Amino acid sequence: EPEVTQTPSHQVTQMGQEVILRCVPISNHLYFYWYRQILGQKVEFLVSFYNNEISEKSEIFDDQFSVERPDGSNFTLKIRSTKLEDSAMYFCATARSSRTGEEKLFFGSGTQLSVL
Amino acid sequence: QKEVEQNSGPLSVPEGAIASLNCTYSDRGSQSFFWYRQYSGKSPELIMFIYSNGDKEDGRFTAQLNKASQYVSLLIRDSQPSDSATYLCAARGSARQLTFGSGTQLTVLP
């Protein structure tokens, strides 16, 4: 069964450093998302991406965050200058259907980001 | 503020019993609803989605939606110890992103 692949599975970084989290979507999926989950808290939406541009973004997704699809396959989330509060599990999710309401979102296995 | 509320639990049921998980949502514009299962340290796994009032059955799982009451539920019949996990309710409105509840922790006792 096709799956969303995320790398790395764990990332440890120093505060202020840049990190790039990578995702390979399921091949025929068109909609891409980043969510995050701080330990013990809700899964929170960060950003959605369609047709090579951001569709929606949350208040969390400030100027320190950016997304791109550099080579038509990978989908990346960059955090320019990490803060302690960025420590979380980051999930990439992708979907195929274009009909809102019937769209099934499939999550990758996540990248656990630890900012020291 | 769009909110999805769930009882955090923990909810314990004996093996073979019916587990009932509930969820309410605040945004009347929400159009579709999803139940995900999340094992500790793992990613959410889609179990069911529903967008019409009434019941939707898939194997041992039944999702129920009542838009007038802004209420969604998930019933798990013949609960198994492998069903022990956190169950996340999520709602989608006109935008595509999902708003998640905090999850209900379910334990099925052998």
Q: What number is the average pLDDT over the span B53-64? A: 96
How many Å lie between the alpha carbon of B18 and the closest alpha carbon of chain A?
25
Q: Do B43 and A44 touch (CB under 8 A)?
A: no
Whether A108 and chain B come into contact, CB under 8 Å, resolves to: yes
Q: What number is the average pLDDT over the span A99-115? A: 84
What are the tens digits of pLDDT across the range A40-92? 999 999 999 988 899 999 999 999 999 999 887 899 999 999 999 999 999 99
Q: What is the three-class DSSP state of B81?
A: helix
How many Å lie between the alpha carbon of B95 and the closest alpha carbon of chain A?
8
Write down the mean pLDDT value for chain A.
Answer: 92
Of the ranges A29-33, A98-102, B71-75, the best mean pLDDT one: B71-75
pLDDT at B13 over 60: yes
Q: What is the three-class DSSP state of B69?
A: coil
Query: Which of these ranges, A29-33, A35-39, B68-72, B75-79, has the smallest mean pLDDT?
Result: A29-33
Q: What pLDDT is attached to residue A45?
A: 95
Q: What pLDDT is attached to residue A99?
A: 60
Q: What number is the average pLDDT over the span A91-116? A: 85
Q: What is the 3-state secondary structure (H, E, C) of chain A?
A: CCCCEEECCEEEECCCCCEEEEEECCCCCCEEEEEEECCCCCEEEEEEEECCEEEEECCCCCCCEEEECCCCCCEEEEECCCCHHHCEEEEEEEECCCCCCCCCCEECCCEEEEEC
